[in-house]
Amino acid sequence: MESKIPVAILGATGTVGQKFVLLLQNHPWFEIRELAASPRSANKAYKNACSWKQDKPIPGLLRDKPLLEAGARLSSRILFSGMDSSVAGPIEEDYASRGHIVISNSKNHRMDPDVPIIIPEVNPDHFEITKKQRFIGAIITNSNCAIMPVAMVLAPLHRVFKVKWVQLSSMQAVSGAGYPGVPSYDILGNIVPFIEGEESKVETESQKILGQLNGDVIEPANFIVSAQCNRVPLIDGHTINLSIKFEEKPSPRQVRDILGTWKSLPQKKKLPTAPSSPIIVFEEENRPQPARDILLENGMAACVGRIRECPIGHIKMVVLSHNTIRGAAGAAILNAEAYVSLGYFQ
């Protein structure tokens, strides 16, 4: 790529916005040109408006960069949105109407009929539906952070054995709630067995992701998901206990072999943010673990372990991923790379 594509970050001061800032540093294809945030942050230097919570300092070139107000005119064509869902919907639509390509982490448009939920390893063909949108530009979303690794695991298995139903129980880190997130008095030494709106998202998004594009319609995959979502006192890393029933029963060894060798478009195209192995399969009984495994493949892999027979379904396992990288900012950046590499960005 001869020159880098300028990009903007919407919601740049938030948890996901900060992760965008870190992950886009020295990106071979994209260069941050603009940062946008809420009206109260507009015109402030990024370092003064942002309560920085990352494990690396704010990149030097962006520390003093003035923030624009989200909704202001931007010169960048590609916009990464980490805005809160309470404000994201109309702002993203407005930018798409002006010709911008909005790569969104927000939930607002995920279930719109003409907006794809993209995981490039799973359904890059769904980009095609953006041509049917009413916008001059486009809106593209990534999935909920808990369903991201689940959909990655289900995709290669569904193609071979056909999923009938999925039961999952999640243990989700506090960073998934943004900042300041869950009050310390509620979460320290505790588990909160409720995350508002989470279970409904987890129970519907995977079917759209694994569905078939038929003309102007994405037809959802025909399986059922039952979810129980819990907030646990970890900073990063969502762990999901997963039980699956298939139309054709696989053996644990078949499942391990399929998941451990699976590669797809991002790996074949060697996209900059793509993990070389999208799914890492552990043989150890006590892995994966958030403290040890979430940064494997730079946080972009789904980590899977304890693959065994299920007495109610067919197979059960443990799935882990980094919720603010593979489940949020990293996923959106990979979506943008796939969109560009497939020739949709002109």
Catalytic residue among 109, 126, 145, 303: 145
Instruction: Please say if the pLDDT value at position 2 is more than 80.
Output: no
For CATH 3.40.50.720, the residue range(s) in the chain are 5-144+329-341
Q: Please confirm, yes or no, whether 145 is among the known catalytic residues.
A: yes
Average pLDDT in the 255-264 region?
98
Q: Do residues 333 and 23 make contact, with C-beta atoms less than 8 angstroms apart? A: yes
Residue corresponding to tokens 């809160």:
84
Average pLDDT in the 206-212 region?
97
pLDDT at 58: 96
Which run of H or E residues covers position 268? helix 265-268
Average pLDDT in the 136-148 region?
97
Instruction: Please say if the pLDDT value at position 1 is more than 90.
Output: no
Neighbours of 63 (CB within 10 A): 14
Per-residue pLDDT band for 271 (boundaries 50, 70, 90) equals very high
Q: Cα separation of 245 and 179, whole Å?
A: 37
More confident of the two residues 215 and 311: 311
Instruction: Please say if the pLDDT value at position 153 is more than 90.
Output: yes
Is domain 147-322 annotated with CATH 3.30.360.10?
A: yes
**How far separated are the first and last CA of the chain, in Å rounded?**
13
- On the 0-12 / 13-18 / 19+ scale of CB atoms within 10 A, 113 is exposed
pLDDT tens-digit series, residues 281-313: 999 999 999 999 999 999 999 999 999 999 999
0.95 surpassed by pTM = yes
Average pLDDT in the 175-191 region?
94
Instruction: Please say if the pLDDT value at position 198 is more than 90.
Output: yes
5-144+329-341 has which fold?
A: Rossmann fold (3.40.50)
Which run of H or E residues covers position 91? helix 85-97
Annotate 266-305 with b (16+ C-beta within 10 A) or e (fewer). Answer: bbeeebebbbebbbbbbeeeebbbbeebbebbebbbbbbb
> What proportion of the chain, given as a percentage, has pLDDT over 70?
99
pLDDT tens-digit series, residues 102-129: 999 999 999 999 999 999 999 999 999 9
pLDDT at 346: 84
For CATH 3.30.360.10, the residue range(s) in the chain are 147-322
Q: Do residues 335 and 142 make contact, with C-beta atoms less than 8 angstroms apart? A: yes
Q: Please confirm, yes or no, whether 229 is among the known catalytic residues.
A: no
Catalytic residue among 100, 109, 158, 238: 238
pLDDT tens-digit series, residues 318-333: 999 999 999 999 999 9
The closest alpha carbon to 12, from 308, 26, 100, 44, belongs to: 44
Q: What is the DSSP string of 293-342?
A: HTTGGGGTSEEEEEEEE-SSSSEEEEEEE-TTIIIIIHHHHHHHHHHHHT
Q: Cα separation of 298 and 320, whole Å?
A: 14
Both structure tokens of 224: 């059922």
CA–CA–CA angle 265, 151, 179 (5° rounding): 105
Q: Cα separation of 27 and 25, whole Å?
A: 5
pLDDT at 179: 87
pLDDT tens-digit series, residues 45-61: 999 999 999 999 999 99
